[in-house]
Structure 1
Amino acid sequence: MRLIKSFVVISYILLFGGNVAAQSIANYPDRTVTIIVGFPPGTATDTVARVLAERFTNKFGKTFIVDNKAGQGGSMGSAFVAKAAPDGYTLVLSATAPLAINPNLYTNITYDPRKNFAPIGLVSWLPYVFVTNPKTGINTIQQLTEKAKANPGQLTYASIGNGSTSHLLMSMLTRQAGINVTHIPYKGSAQSQTDVMSGQVDMTFDTMLTLMPHIKAGKLKAVATGGLTRSQFAQDVPTLDEQGLTGFNAGAWLGLLAPAGTPKPIIDKLHKELNAILDDPDVIKRLNELGSESLKSNSPAEFSAFIQTEYTKWGQRVRDSGAKIE
């Protein structure tokens, strides 16, 4: 009799429990969704995340909120999501550093970007620009090189944290230029840029999104951009490649991910709406005004392959730089 009852209970769970789960996926989202950002408010990633949250909220009729969990070059936020329930209600807008650089740089990263996430889609490209305080008189890479070689270790540069993209790009610049410049890490863009503008630090290499307002206001001097071609947002600013650092080509990308194991129908649903958002002319214009270029991933599988490629590429750059953080 007990065996019969047990069989009935198990059959009920399998039949109706499965139906409930399928219905829950079909009705996704039916409550608040949190987009984790591993950087402080006001950074490029945070700004783009808030654009997405607003659009997802309007589309689905359920609230999408942004929660900042800053630290370890953006990796604290990614680590949090890697361990979250794979139900689609905790997502992460992550970037080059947490997914490609930091796992090769830090010795204590607790997640594997190639295994612990379900990629949804690429979101945007963030061009980087190298700037100086106008009072330094450094307006070209040649002037930077000459001044740095005449005063080894005396010039200073700010980054948004150890292991951040801004830190690694500046390490690449100084290594390729053969100069010694002292690194001063901060916990985000706002304070690092404030100190460069005030003259406490000489220079920084950060996203165009966060730096352009200060460049336009004349508070910072745009010396060079990080891509191989000039940015559409600053056509008058030469690239590092143009100024003698041959082949220098780097920036940052942003992508939306969920924890590994998130049901495929939820991933596909989010991917479809993400692409619709990134196709919206108003969103494209808004991202462009922020200094960010809208991207669109053809499929979650292609985004996954992209992460694999970036992981390998940046791993080599980290090894070349000799950087390692405990």
Structure 2
Amino acid sequence: MNRRQFLAIPPALLAASLIPNSAEAAGGRLLFGYGRTGLGSKLALSALDIFEKHSIYPYQLENVPGRSTFNATDSFLAAAPDGLTILQTQSPSLNMLPHIHSNISYDPLKDLRPLGILGEYTIALTLGPLVSKDVKSIDDFVEWVEENPESRYVGFTQYGSPGHMAQLVLARGKQVAIRPQAYRGTSMMLEDLLDGTLAAGMVITGNAIEKFQSGELRAIAVTSKYRHPGLGWGAVKTFNEQGIPSTNISGWYGWFAPADMADSLYRPLYYKVQKMLSDPKFREIQKEFSLKSVISYDTVITQRIQNELEYYGDMVKEYRIGKVS
């Protein structure tokens, strides 16, 4: 290559090509703040298989659970902003937990730069075999709880999560004396639902799909503003449709770069992620995990985080959810 050919290379592509060969050989890391067996990790692994077609070098999933996903974010921000470390996070870490945790060490708007949204999920009010099959709506469930007060526990995972919020909205919206039952992980809640220990739980769509398809688990309502698409979810009515108006609780998975990453490195990485998201095979992954495809441009994501911070901040105040340290 002569000097004229070298100078003709676009700066962004040139920067990407100058990453050291040792880094290319080693590959990059996708950090995620939950365990290896959950829905988010399965999504990450499937996405990375497609991302590898569009990336210069492969990325490996690295699970860093603990401290309500803060360990993963702290590790991510401590890494060099060279494009070799990406963060996968769920939206509550950006729009809910900052209102609830007093020791949060990052600002979701100042420290993270969006690469893309992998898909949006909603929360399903889910019944296990303990509840009569005649219960097919929220009002039916409320009546059942009043007749079976010993089984009025409704499960959710993680304090300050969308499921936690949904349980509070349900209790107030229907003036029913349900009791919250917090779990450290979704798998434990699903086990209790399936064995009849727990009557109902707030479950992220995409979890235990085979159990919903077999009828062992039944969704009677979703918390999103509109019905959720895909794999039978379109038949499940929203909270709004069942007498709890103005409910709009959902979540999403996103990939992020550090805010201090040079634009010459960020832009090529951002475009590669966008190519992955538009890949037909990735659309199939979204269907597999019951995820809704949404607009995923960086400026749109930033505005969405801002809007959701305000929305959930108001909800935290309204329901008097206490801070934790």
Give the TM bin, normalised by the shorter chain. Answer: 0.7 to 0.9
Structure 1 ranges of 4+ moved more than 4 A: 22-25, 149-154
State whether structure 2 residue 102 is matched by structure 1 residue 107. yes
Mapped contact 2:99–2:323 kept (Cα < 8 A): no
Cα separation, 2, equivalents of 1:212 and 1:325: 33
Q: CA deviation at 1:131?
A: 0.4
* Secondary structure in structure 1 of the residue aligned to 2:203: strand
Q: What is the DSSP-based 3-state SS (H/G/I as helix, E as strand, rest coil) of the residue aligned with 1:293?
A: coil
Structure-2 separation of matches of 1:313 and 1:225: 18
Give the count of matched residue pairs.
305
The residue that corresponds to 1:269 in the other structure is 268
C-alpha separation in 2, matches of 1:210 and 1:42: 11
Normalising by structure 2, what TM-score? Answer: 0.85
Q: Does 2:206 align with 1:209?
A: yes
2:69, 2:167 → 1: CA distance? Answer: 17
Distance 1:119 1:55 in 2: 19
Alpha-carbon distance in structure 1 between the residues aligned to 2:42 and 2:295: 18
**Gaps in structure 2 of 5+ consecutive residues:** 1-12
Q: Find the residue that maps to 2:321 and give its secondary structure.
A: coil
RMSD of equivalent CA atoms: 2.3
Q: Does residue 55 of the first structure (1) align with residue 50 of the second (2)?
A: yes
Q: Which residue number corresponds to residue 156 of structure 1?
A: 153
Shift of 1:153: 7.5
State the distance in 1 between where 2:138 and 2:241 align. Answer: 10
Give the deviation of 1:154 after TM superposition.
4.8
Determine helix, strand or coil for the equivalent of 1:269.
helix
1:1-326 equivalence runs, <5 A: 25-28=16-19, 30=24, 31-137=26-132, 138-149=135-146, 154-233=151-230, 234-298=233-297, 300-326=298-324
Percent identity of paired positions between Structure 1 and Structure 2:
21
Tell me how far apart the structure 1 counterparts of residues 116 and 94 of structure 2 sit (CA, whole Å).
13
Cα deviation, residue 150, structure 1: 5.5
Give, in whole Å, the separation in 1 of the partners of 2:67 and 2:143: 33
Q: Distance in 2 between matches of 1:319 and 1:166?
A: 17
Q: What's the CA shift string for 1:294-320, capped at 9, x where partnerless?
A: 33423x233222222221111111112
Contact 2:157 2:186 in 1 (8 A): yes
Task: Give 1:79 shift.
Answer: 3.1
The worse-fitting range, judged by mean Cα deviation, of 265-274 and 289-298 is 289-298
Name the amino acid aligned to 1:208: T
CA distance in 2, matches of 1:321, 1:39: 27
Match of 1:3 in 2: none
Cα contact 2:154–2:181 (8 A) shared by 1: yes
Q: Is 24-33 or 157-166 further displaced after alignment?
A: 24-33
| Alpha-carbon distance between aligned partners in 2 of 1:247 and 1:134, rounded to the nearest angstrom | 30
Question: Could you tell which deviates more after superposition, 48-57 or 250-259?
Answer: 48-57
3-state DSSP of counterpart to 1:135: coil
Distance 1:238 1:224, change over 3 A: same
Contact 1:186 1:192 (8 Å CA) reproduced: yes
- Check whether the contact 2:30–2:87 (CA below 8 A) recurs between aligned residues: yes
Contact 1:278 1:295 survives alignment (8 Å)? no
Partner of 2:7: none
Q: CA deviation at 1:24?
A: 5.8
1:134–1:142 distance in 2 versus 1, CA, 3 Å? same
- Cα deviation, 1:196-234, whole Å, max 9, x if unaligned, reads 111111111121111432111111111112223222222
